[in-house]
Amino acid sequence: MLEERSAGTVIYRQSPQGKLYLLLNYPSGHWDFVKGNIEKGETFKQTVLREIREETGIEDITFVDGFEDKVEYHYQRDGQVIHKEVIFFLANTKTSKVVLSHEHRDYTWLNFNDALEKLTYKTAQNIFKKIKDL
């Protein structure tokens, strides 16, 4: 079985309406957080910072201390089963403008309840529920 390691982050910003969370729409149609595979020599947080820059153009990121969570699952690619581990962080930004990369179709900033409803995968919803009171 192949192993794959990724890192992702739940990004939020403060607005007059409260916290708004960033979700990206992937080409397969699902809505999820920024995440990507770890490149050789990178730490999890270095991966997250690189992925945020590449996928959204956002550079002003501050990690929220005390939140780090792991999701593990299996999926198939080219007929092979892959065990994937994703480490998630929580971060905030003051930037509202997103410059999407070619990897995504759309983005949105939503309040907690709307974001929870829009997230496609149960694993992402479970991570998201853990940050509600942080």
Show the tokens assigned to 86: 């994703």
Looking up residue 8, the CATH number of its domain turns out to be 3.90.79.10
Q: How far apart are CA 39 and CA 29, in angstroms?
A: 25
Among 54, 51, 38, CA closest to 4: 38
Q: How far apart are CA 49 and CA 114, in angstroms?
A: 25
Report the number of distinct structural domains present in the chain.
Answer: 1
Q: How far apart are CA 89 and CA 24, in angstroms?
A: 16
Structural domain boundaries, residue 115? 2-130
| pTM beyond 0.95 | no
Q: Label residue 132 by pLDDT band (50, 70, 90).
A: confident
What pLDDT, on a 0 to 100 scale, did the predictor assign at position 76? Answer: 92
